[in-house]
Amino acid sequence: MKWALSIILAVVTVILIGIAIVHPASASGTVGIASGSALPGFAEKPDTPEHALTIMLNDVRRHDWGAAYSLVSRTTGVDEQAMAAEWTGSDGSLRTFSSLESFNLWPLHETDNDGQIRARLTWTTPVGPVEDVRDFHLGRTGDMWNVILPRPEQTTVPAQIIPVTYLRWDLVNGNAQDQWGSHNVDAPRVRIISMNAVDDATGAVVMGEVENDDTIPAFVNVNATLVNAAGNSIDQENSFDKIAHILLPKEVSPYRIDFPGIDLSKVKNVRMDVKAALVPASADPVIGVMEQKMQQDMQGNSVLEGKLLNQSGQTVNIPHVIASFYDSNGRVIWVSDGYVDHALLPQESQPFAVQVPRNVAANVRSFHVVVNQYSLHKS
């Protein structure tokens, strides 16, 4: 009897696994799991647009480019190498250090031979999880569905001479007798010019702007301590990457400090502290911010969109955008940041977008954008 029961349970388990493979669950969207694959000997059949895209994205997640390419329509002429390069990135961009962790799918449109699906892709990156929303077009051939990928744009930078006219500050370290540049030089004068504390869905947020008031460059970090009515410290955090750390003379950067899970009503006071250190720096590469505008993205979220233009002759591998938003009184009411996952090649541009909470967007009257620049050839 025990053997019979064991056999029945095994058969039922196999049947349920088979059903799950052939008919993936779906509710408001299909969720891509970050592990697992088809059972050996079972070939998944892309018999619906959603199923075809799910199979391809799981193959992309595993870096199985041959399997992923088998789901791609040949009508656009995209080859396997170009498809893989689009997902793995190039030129030392953030995408080259990222991996697709999971995804959610929402069917938008489907006919007998055509389908449109929206995907929210979640990437693991060195700077934390990054989300990307993308629409996919699918077509049917016989009883199989394929993903129709657009032909990737090939960016080539022509040979040219870019004149260098930027300012540069070098830090000279003295020898054992002359400690100039290490111990005997005062730190740059840096000051916090504004501060605003608000409640967010995830906790308390302290934000504002900081300015380098000196004639030399500074590496800047802002710290905040929340204090209760009894004068005791509740929590202490710093601006981490939500600030432009290197400020040239007279430059201003927004900053944001998050206190997850803390209710601002329990805070009596906020103690601010800014740390600055002398560092070598240059005003190059120069990145222009163009075509800035507030609008809604594909999911109905309020975002600030624009383009970054690399006006120099250097490649910026990982551009990082930080935007401050002001109300009608000129007060900073929010600070958002976001990383561009494609490198900024010399004289080329890339789009960017940073999200603004819906309850904040209605009060935004102006904004200011600064760009952090991370390049592989710099320490």
Structural domains in the chain plus CATH codes: 27-148 (3.10.450.100), 168-281 (2.60.40), 284-374 (2.60.40.10)
Strand 281-282 to 246-247 pairing: unpaired
**Residue 2 or 359, more confident:** 359
pLDDT at 46: 86
d(CA 201, CA 118): 26
Mean pLDDT within 55-72: 94
Q: For the stretch 149-174, what's the b/e string if a residue is b when 16 or more beta carbons lie within 10 angstroms of its beta carbon? A: beeeeeeeeeeeeeeeeeeeeeeeee
pLDDT at 24: 41
pLDDT at 170: 86
**Residue 176 or 173, more confident:** 173
Radius of gyration of the chain (CA): 26
Please, which pLDDT band fits residue 16 given cuts at 50, 70 and 90?
very low
pLDDT at 28: 43
Q: Is the peptide bond before 152 cis (omega within 30 degrees of 0)?
A: no
How many whole angstroms from its chain centre is CA 199?
A: 23
| pLDDT exceeds cutoff 50 at 39 | no
- Kindly report the average pLDDT of the chain as a whole number: 85
Least-confidence region, from 12-21, 152-161, 303-312: 12-21
Mean pLDDT within 28-53: 61
**Residue 155 or 328, more confident:** 328
**Residue 184 or 371, more confident:** 371
Mean pLDDT within 53-77: 92
Please, which pLDDT band fits residue 69 given cuts at 50, 70 and 90?
very high
Please, which pLDDT band fits residue 189 given cuts at 50, 70 and 90?
very high
pLDDT at 151: 81
Q: 3-state class of 284 per DSSP?
A: coil
| pLDDT exceeds cutoff 70 at 348 | yes
pLDDT at 175: 58
Which of 72-86, 167-181, 311-325 tops mean pLDDT? 311-325
pTM for the whole structure: 0.80
Mean pLDDT within 334-350: 93
- Residue-wise pLDDT for 210-266, tens only, equals 999 999 999 999 999 999 999 999 999 999 999 999 999 999 999 999 999 999 999
Mean pLDDT within 354-373: 93
| pLDDT exceeds cutoff 80 at 152 | no
Mean pLDDT within 149-168: 80
Cα–Cα nearest to 281, from 176, 180, 185, 372: 372
| pLDDT exceeds cutoff 90 at 159 | no
Please, which pLDDT band fits residue 20 given cuts at 50, 70 and 90?
very low
| pLDDT exceeds cutoff 70 at 300 | yes
Structure tokens at 324: 């401050």
pLDDT at 33: 40
Contacts of 21 (CB under 8 A, 6+ apart): 38, 39, 42, 44
pLDDT at 75: 85
Please, which pLDDT band fits residue 142 given cuts at 50, 70 and 90?
confident
| pLDDT exceeds cutoff 50 at 318 | yes
Please, which pLDDT band fits residue 272 given cuts at 50, 70 and 90?
very high
pLDDT at 215: 94
pLDDT at 158: 78
Structure tokens at 113: 């031979």
